[in-house]
Chains A and B, each alone.
Chain A
């Protein structure tokens, strides 16, 4: 069982806005930065968001991140078929002295 909690699945139609949540505790999300990654089969994982809401160069502005208290979320607007994949949140956990990840959310574009 993952330290950070994500919904196992999410879906939307092209053009829609989808939000993926990530819930943690005061020792991880509540006190440290949150990061988001996307994994696609057979390809290298990619960072989508760092320091809660900062987009690396090359990540479209359709992706946005936010954090409030012990929860974080990744929003994708103007959904596209190529946005399908598995999305993971991550944070440093002070109590565990460990980098922890969410269990992943499989995004399907219908």
Chain B
């Protein structure tokens, strides 16, 4: 059974860097792709980005200039760094395993990302 657990500071000052770690058990970090998603208070979910099993990253355009996702294979963990934070970055941050779907026929491809399982989330307040 794959389980994920987020950890990191719950309070970050404006303009500083938010750093979170996701510890994975029940699966090898190098065999799967992984993602970060967040939910600001009272708002909906927002995808932050992914890292694949080959180390390729893909970030949300709105956060791309400030985000880095990386993997620590020996520790079976992956991490999120978000620089120059503001109050708008206050959110519950979730880590999750990522699955990709793609089906192509002669005319087009149908795609999707989905996340399973998720960690319980950790609240990070920027203040």
Contacts and interface: CB of A to CB of B under 8 A. Distances in A.
Given A33-B101, A103-B44, A42 B114 contact: no
Interface residues of B, number: 27
Contacts of B39: 39
A101 B125 CA distance: 22
Of residues A88, A92, A99, which shows the largest number of chain B Cβ atoms within 10 Å of its Cβ? A99
Interface string B88-112: 0000001010010100000010111
B115 to A, nearest CB: 7
Contacts of A90: 45, 114
Contacts of A56: 116
Nearest to A103: B44
Contacts of B45: 37, 39, 88, 90, 101, 104
Interface of B: 4, 39, 43-47, 60-62, 94, 96, 99, 101, 108, 110-121
15 contacts: A31-B110, A35-B114, A37-B45, A43-B120, A44-B119, A44-B121, A46-B118, A50-B116, A51-B101, A88-B45, A98-B61, A99-B47, A101-B45, A103-B44, A104-B44
